[in-house]
Amino acid sequence: MRAYERLLKYVAYPTASDEASPASPSTPAQLELGRALVQEMKDLGIADAAMDENGYVYGTVPGNVDKKTPVVGFIAHMDVVRDVPFENIRARVCRYDGGELVLNQEQGIVLSPDEFPELGDYAGGDLVVTDGTTLLGADDKAGIAEIMTMAERLLGDPGIRHGDIKLGFTPDEEIGRGADRFDIPRFGADFAYTVDGAAFGEVEYENFNAASCKVSIRGKNIHPGSSKNKMKNALLIAVEFASLLPPAETPAHTELREGFYHLTGVSGTVEEAEMGYILRDHDSSVLEQRKETMRRAADFLNARYGEGTVTLTLTDGYRNMAEAMRGHMHIVETARSAVRELGAEPQSSPIRGGTDGATLTYMGLPCPNLGTGSHNHHGKLEYASVQAMDKCVDLLVKIAEAYAR
């Protein structure tokens, strides 16, 4: 089975994670996909395939060489984001000959290289797309599909020489919990690769440092007919807080290593309001400055409207793996060499986000990231290239072989 065929199966599972849920995994659909993956792995001949009590799936493709080799792992996550429609996905494969690709004639939804220039790289090939009303879920079900297809190839072809290969599928990556309960000793790899997003040939080992901020605002509601010099409108104070942050330092205005403040949600009434922000920067010292900017904004509004009007809850997230990867760059170089063997030039761009690999690297499992041949993640215009997914499978096989030479 080809990787794209598996992707079409996996996207039928509505596996959005839920930050409000304390459970692990946070949603039952992830357990459903996990069970299906365990059964598929067993059907392939992976005898130790299993899912633990927290929804993490593990398995081993046994090596077929006599000498001692490093144990290599490949990891992908099962969940998708919740803030884009994620149910009843109508995925299909279509030929792409260039120009605009109509996803939904009735609603006028198109994929255009004018908006997404990288789309032009796939002219003459086949794309997995939706009808433009939901996400696709290639982040990261394309990664799962490629790892499973690699496993099938290794198990079916004894001529491919390799050591033990570990497979791991995690829940709740999109809400920052994907590595929290990952059992590194059980996994049993010396190092690993996440297979999570971006184009074929991407070999990534640098990512954002992350923090989140909850802004709680306490107002005072008084009848508007008699509220002069008395009312404190929490919603208007929320607007004022947002105006105190640098307007050009948002995701819509930044790229590469430029960090940002990202307002993810606002709710409330005159009496009370709440705002959610995520803060990102590749430089940890600049991320600390961003936190301080948030504190100064709160201090300013508290001085203006009274102490206790604005309260911040700042929480650190994942860290930039680049520093922890410095002593393990041979893992990156092996992947780069494998890309070159397949006739492409590897690219190492800073990840404008995070992966389970960032946290796992700091937990002692070095874990750079490989591309999956998919794009426009977390949106309704997400797509994956059939041919690029095939190349990504070839890359995983090449990496597995490399450590057995």
- Which listed residue (79, 204, 356, 390) is catalytic? 79
Q: What is the pTM of this model?
A: 0.88
Domain boundary among 269, 301, 316: 316
281: pLDDT strictly greater than 90: yes
Looking at the fold, whether 193 and 307 belong to one and the same domain comes out as no
Query: pLDDT at residue 155 above 90?
Result: yes
Domain of 249, CATH number, reads 3.30.70.360
Alpha-carbon gap, residue 26 to 77, rounded angstroms: 13
Average pLDDT over residues 208-221: 96
> Do residues 202 and 219 both lie within one domain?
no
Hey, how many other C-beta atoms are within 10 angstroms of the C-beta on 30? 29
Q: What pLDDT was estimated at residue 317?
A: 86
373 and 385 Cβ atoms separated by less than 8 Å: yes
Summarize pLDDT for 247-267 with one digit per residue, the tens: 999 999 999 899 999 999 999
For residue 25, say if its preceding peptide bond is cis, omega within 30 degrees of 0: yes
Same domain, 369 and 272: no
- Asked if 58 and 167 count as a contact pair (C-beta separation under 8 A), the reply is yes
Distances in Å between the Cα of 98 and the Cα atoms of 133, 221, 269, 341, 377 are 22, 56, 48, 28, 21
Q: Are residues 250 and 341 in the same domain?
A: no
Is the pLDDT confidence value at 198 over 90? no
Whether residues 20 and 161 share a domain: the answer is yes
* Domain range enclosing 302: 209-316
Which tokens belong to 159?
């001529």
pLDDT band at 355 (very low <50, low <70, confident <90, very high): confident
Q: Tell me what pLDDT residue 374 has.
A: 97
- Residues 268, 143 share a domain: no
Domain boundary among 316, 332, 356: 316
Regarding whether 354 and 292 lie in a shared domain, the answer is no
Per-residue model confidence (pLDDT) at position 267: 97
Asked whether residue 268 carries a pLDDT value surpassing 90, the answer given is yes
| Whole-angstrom distance, CA of residue 15 vs CA of residue 35 | 13
pLDDT of 14 > 90? The answer is yes
Residues near 289 by beta carbon (within 8 Å), at least 6 away in sequence: none
Active site residue 173: yes
Regarding whether 171 and 127 lie in a shared domain, the answer is yes
21: amino acid identity, one letter: S
44 near 372, Cβ under 8 Å? no
Same domain, 142 and 15: yes
Mean pLDDT of 305-322: 94
Backbone region of residue 57 per phi and psi (left: phi > 0; alpha: psi in -120 to 50; beta: other values):
beta
CATH number of the domain encompassing residue 326: 3.40.630.10
Same domain, 383 and 269: no
- Report whether pLDDT(353) > 90: no
Q: What is the pLDDT of residue 116?
A: 95
d(CA 284, CA 299): 23
Hey, what amino acid is at 46?
I
Residue 108: what residue type? G
CA dihedral 333, 388, 107, 29 (to 10 degrees): -70
pLDDT digits (tens, 9 = 90+) for 223-238: 999 999 999 999 999 9
Q: Which carries the bigger pLDDT value, residue 326 or residue 355?
A: 326
Domain count, the chain: 2
Q: Known catalytic residue: 79?
A: yes
Catalytic residue, chosen from 140, 152, 164, 173, is 173
Q: Categorize the per-residue pLDDT at 351 as very low, low, confident or very high, splitting at 50, 70 and 90.
A: confident
Q: Please state the rounded mean pLDDT for residues 128-134.
A: 97
Cβ neighbour number for residue 183 with a 10 Å cutoff: 12
Q: Which of 134, 135, 32, 22 is nearest to 78 (CA)?
A: 32
**260-268, strands of its sheet edge to edge:** 260-268, 272-281, 209-218, 310-316
Task: Kindly state whether residues 202 and 213 are assigned to the same domain.
Answer: no
Helix (H) or strand (E) holding 49: none
Which helix or strand (DSSP H or E) is residue 60 part of?
Answer: strand 57-61
CA dist 98 and 218 (Å) reads 53
Residue 160, judged by CB atoms within 10 A of its CB (0-12, 13-18, 19+), counts as: middle
100 pLDDT exceeds 90? yes
Together in a domain, 113 and 165: yes
Res. 361 pLDDT band, cuts 50 70 90: very high
Structural domain ending residue among the three candidates 316, 345, 368: 316
Per-residue pLDDT reduced to its tens digit, 45-91: 999 999 999 999 999 999 999 999 999 999 999 999 999 999 999 99
